[in-house]
């Protein structure tokens, strides 16, 4: 645990990003949103005329964009070819296409290599959030958390983030489709690692979730330092 990696996985709407950033800030660690990286490469594909429904075309283009992730939990920026895309990657066009792009093995291989490099360069440790962090990217991470929540709670949260632009019912349906795509892909599907600790956030506040994760990290550190 010289280089601490805290892996936080789970589907959308479970509070993964808010929890990960808060834990990183509280523990003085770096932070990496791997989902933003997949969104960034999807954004680049869409803006460069790549057919995101053609896995061969996506694979051929996957090495072209230069993606740089900021690791400050207070301001987690991401750029593509020098352009700040922190806002644009959250658009509905990217949201609709990201599962297809992220399912391409060549994309995932490139991103995993990138994610490991970012973590290796982080000073003191890093909180990494995603869908395959504990199973594929950092299978030896000393702390693995898998966040869950009821379908209703997840949809309500995501609809709230969208400021009511999409109904809760439509949001829940979209989340179900995303879950099916992410869990069903052949390469690095969304799954809970066998040694991960599941935290159901349905009835917990953000502060309560953060406290649980921080406590788990401190317990691991105590065992290490004995």
Ordered domains of the chain (ranges, CATH): 5-221 (3.40.50.300)
Sheet holding 67-69, edge to edge: 67-69, 78-80, 83-84
What is the per-residue pLDDT for 1? 38
Task: Label the pairing between strands 5-9 and 143-148.
Answer: parallel
φ, ψ of residue 63 in degrees (nearest 5): -90, 0
Identify the CA nearest to 7 among candidates 102, 119, 82. Answer: 119
What is the per-residue pLDDT for 3? 60
Q: How many CB atoms lie within 10 A of CB 137?
A: 25
Whole-model pTM over 0.75? yes
Q: How many residues does the chain have?
A: 226
What is the per-residue pLDDT for 182? 86
Residues of the chain with pLDDT under 50: 1-2
Identify the CA nearest to 10 among candidates 212, 182, 173, 213. Answer: 182
Instruction: With beta carbons less than 8 A apart as the criterion, state whether 128 and 8 touch.
Output: yes
What is the per-residue pLDDT for 167? 84
What is the per-residue pLDDT for 164? 65
What is the per-residue pLDDT for 2? 42
What is the rounded distance in angstroms from the CA atom of residue 31 to the CA atom of residue 213? Answer: 14
């Amino acid at each position: 645990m010289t280089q601490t990696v805290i892996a936080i996985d789970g589907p959308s709407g479970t509070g993964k990003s808010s929890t990960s950033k808060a834990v990183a800030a509280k523990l003085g660690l770096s932070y990496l949103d791997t989902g933003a990286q997949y969104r960034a490469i999807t954004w680049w594909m869409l803006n460069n005329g790549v057919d995101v429904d053609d896995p061969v075309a996506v694979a051929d283009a996957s090495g072209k964009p230069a993606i740089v992730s900021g690791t400050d939990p207070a301001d987690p920026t991401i750029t593509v070819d020098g352009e700040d895309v922190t806002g644009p990657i959250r658009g509905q066009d990217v949201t609709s296409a990201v599962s297809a792009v992220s399912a391409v093995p060549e994309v995932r291989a490139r991103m995993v290599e990138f994610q490991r490099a970012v973590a290796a360069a982080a000073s003191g440790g890093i909180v990494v959030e995603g869908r395959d962090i504990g199973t594929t990217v950092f299978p030896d991470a000393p702390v693995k958390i898998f966040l869950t929540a009821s379908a209703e709670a997840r949809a309500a949260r995501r609809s709230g983030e969208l400021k009511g632009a999409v109904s809760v019912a439509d949001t829940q349906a979209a989340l179900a489709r995303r879950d099916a795509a992410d869990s069903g892909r052949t390469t690095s599907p969304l799954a809970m690692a066998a040694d991960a600790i599941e935290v159901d956030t349905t009835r917990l506040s953000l502060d309560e979730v953060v406290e649980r994760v921080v406590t788990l990290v401190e317990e691991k550190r105590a065992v290490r330092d004995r």
